[in-house]
Structures are given as structure tokens and as C-alpha cells.
Amino acid sequence: MSTSIAKRRAGGAGIKWFGAVTAILLLAFSVFVATRTPASTAVEPSPIVQHSAPSISGPTVTGGRFSLSNYRGEFVLVNFFASWCASCAIEEPQLVRFSKSGIGKVLAVDFQDEDRPAIAFLGRYGANWPAVADPNGQIAVKWGVSAPPESFLVSPSGVVLTKIVGPVTAKELAILVQVAKANGY
């Protein structure tokens, strides 16, 4: 009799243990999830930063051809933009100011856009830098671009120094270049 009772009690204890372990695991998991940064707001550093810049070479929106390597030896701001992008319009005057300051060059990549609206967009702000057409967004994929405007500061030796998500200001770019110079780039 005592053996059977012991067995039955052991069974009950097993279920209790299972319940307790499950509850603890669920609690631990809930705490873990609750203290994580929400995936929608997490900022992961770009994997291409501190690496050689992926190549950009192809036809420009005006009909010529251009390559990023043409700017080797100078600080380059690779700017992904589109004529349909509202934030790009806010950023454009700042890029013009940065370009005119002579601190560095600007190379635009026209992301998933048509040539004619892109030419009109650049002309509206007096932007006279080359804009490589990227109608299928394949250059953007190589650079890990999610949505324009996104910019990358490339060192004179062709290393990506930083990724800038959203509109950037000329002042900020000037400081970034100065700090990069101070660090030997």
C-alpha cells in the first residue's frame, strides 16, 4: 500500500515540479524579453563601417558614367537619395553647403528613381555633384541601405567611417571630417 501511495505522490510531485519549472522559465523569458530593446527601435551598427567601401560604378542620371574610385584621396559623402523622398529635400541644402565648403566631395546614388525627376530635384537645390542611377536598388543593397536619405562618410583611402541615417547637416559633416582627420584618416 505504501509503495502505491508513494508512486502516486511522486506523480503529483512531478506535475508540480513541471508546473514550477515552466512558470519559472516563462517568468525568466518574460523578464528577458521585457528588458530587451524592441526590435523595431534597435540600432545595429552597419557591418560595412571600418571596412573598404563597396564599389559604386555606373551610369549617372545625366547620362555619363562615374565611379567612387574617381574620388580616391578625398573625403567623400556617399548620399543615397530619391526625388520622391521628403526628408531628402530637407537635407539637400545642407549637402550643397558641405560641398561648397570644400571639406569633402559628395557622390549621390539615386535610389529606385527615374532619371528625369532626379535631375529636376538636384537642379532645384543647385546640386552639381555626380548622381549614379540605381533604379533597382542594387547598389543600395550592397551598402545596406534601408530607406533614403542615408549617407556614408568615406575616408580618402576608401574606408567607410560612419553611416548616417536620416538628414545630415553641413556643420555635423564638417566636425566628422575634422575628427576623422585628427584620427589619421
Partner 1 sequence: MVTSARESIGKVNRQVNKQRRHFATGRALMVIWGGIAAVILCSFAILTFSSANPSSPAGRIVHLEGEFKCPSCIDLSVAESSAASSISIKTFIKNEVAQGASDAQIKDQLVASYGNSILFTPPKSGAYLVIWILPFGLVLLLGYFSLRPILSRKDWAQSGRGSPNDPRSDDEPPIIEGVSGDLALSMIPLGETINHLPASYGAANHDVAVDGAETRPSQSLMSRALLALLHRSTSTSARKYLAIFGAAFCVAGVGLGLYTFEQGRSQAASRALESRELTQAIGYTYSGQDVSALRLLSLVLHQDPYQPQALAYQGWLLFQAGVKTKSPSLVQKGEQLVLDAIAIQPRYPDAHGFLAMIDLYVYHETAQAKKQFGEFLADSPSSTIRTDLSAAYKAATAAITAKPATTP
**Binding footprint of partner 1 on the chain (CB under 8 A):** 1, 3-5, 7-8, 11, 14-15, 18, 21-22, 25, 29, 34, 36-50, 54, 82, 111-112, 136-138, 140-147, 153, 161-164, 172, 175-176, 178-183, 185
Nearer to partner 1 among residue 67 and residue 169 (C-beta): 169
Q: Shortest distance, CB of residue 8 to partner 1, whole angstroms? A: 6
Q: What is the distance between the alpha carbons of residues 5 and 72, in angstroms, rounded to a whole number?
A: 84
Q: What is the distance between the alpha carbons of residues 66 and 110, in angstroms, rounded to a whole number?
A: 13
Helix (H, G, I), strand (E, B) or coil at 99: helix
Helix (H, G, I), strand (E, B) or coil at 80: strand
- Helix count (H) and strand count (E) of the chain? 5, 7
Nearer to partner 1 among residue 29 and residue 124 (C-beta): 29
Q: What is the distance between the alpha carbons of residues 17 and 29, in angstroms, rounded to a whole number?
A: 18
Q: Shortest distance, CB of residue 164 to partner 1, whole angstroms? A: 6
Nearer to partner 1 among residue 90 and residue 141 (C-beta): 141
Q: Shortest distance, CB of residue 126 to partner 1, whole angstroms? A: 26
Q: Shortest distance, CB of residue 91 to partner 1, whole angstroms? A: 15
Helix (H, G, I), strand (E, B) or coil at 91: helix
